[in-house]
A and B are shown apart, each in its own frame.
Chain A
Amino acid sequence: GAGVSQSPRYKVAKRGQDVALRCDPISGHVSLFWYQQALGQGPEFLTYFQNEAQLDKSGLPSDRFFAERPEGSVSTLKIQRTQQEDSAVYLCASSPRQGPEKLFFGSGTQLSVL
């Protein structure tokens, strides 16, 4: 398909476990964003990549959260020592332009921390 692909679709983790969430953006898209969406709320910005450069990580809630995009395409969001408050849907979005215009979102990874 031509859309943004995220895996896994669902992830259940025990508190304290490390998790890795994958995003395959639309081919050729320059910009990649990660957002966190709690139940019943709008998405909240986590971090932004332009190609392989992480230009903004101001939204990452703690140093347990880490994101990378080493070759400027696929990105991974890693959460270490997961806590219950990390339970949310993690959305990835990409754009063919620099910046946040016309973001195309994936379906997200629903993370549940028990």
Chain B
Amino acid sequence: GESVGLHLPTLSVQEGDNSIINCAYSNSASDYFIWYKQESGKGPQFIIDIRSNMDKRQGQRVTVLLNKTVKHLSLQIAATQPGDSAVYFCAEGMEYGNKLVFGAGTILRVKS
């Protein structure tokens, strides 16, 4: 759902399950997309990125899917662990641009 101010959407999953975090991006000219994880009191930490000439990219336990038709990005985390609990942000930009534009974020809570 939409997030406004402090009311970030929250995804609660059981340890060991797969998680899917979704993001709608705004600029059809964006050609670079990135997912960050942010734990309390820390700066955002790079997870995985993807360029617009791809629709899927896999990392270790994570997969990013890009659907340019509907301007949608998703992050899949396999076998979610308690250490995955954090706020997850998607960000969009242009490869030779000047900035990343961040989404509002999704809280991931992993239940043991």
Contact = CB atoms under 8 A, between A and B. Distances in A.
Interface of A: 4, 33, 35, 39-45, 48, 55-56, 59, 91, 93, 98-108
A45 B100 contact: yes
Interface in B6-37: 6-8, 32, 34, 36
B40 to A, nearest CB: 11
A59 B100 CA distance: 12
Contacts, number: 70
Interface stretch (B52-60, B65-73, B78-86, B102-110): B102-110
Contact of B44 (A59, A101, A105): A105
15 contacts: A42-B91, A42-B102, A43-B89, A45-B100, A91-B43, A99-B94, A99-B96, A100-B97, A101-B32, A101-B34, A102-B34, A104-B46, A105-B43, A105-B45, A106-B43
B95 A101 contact: yes
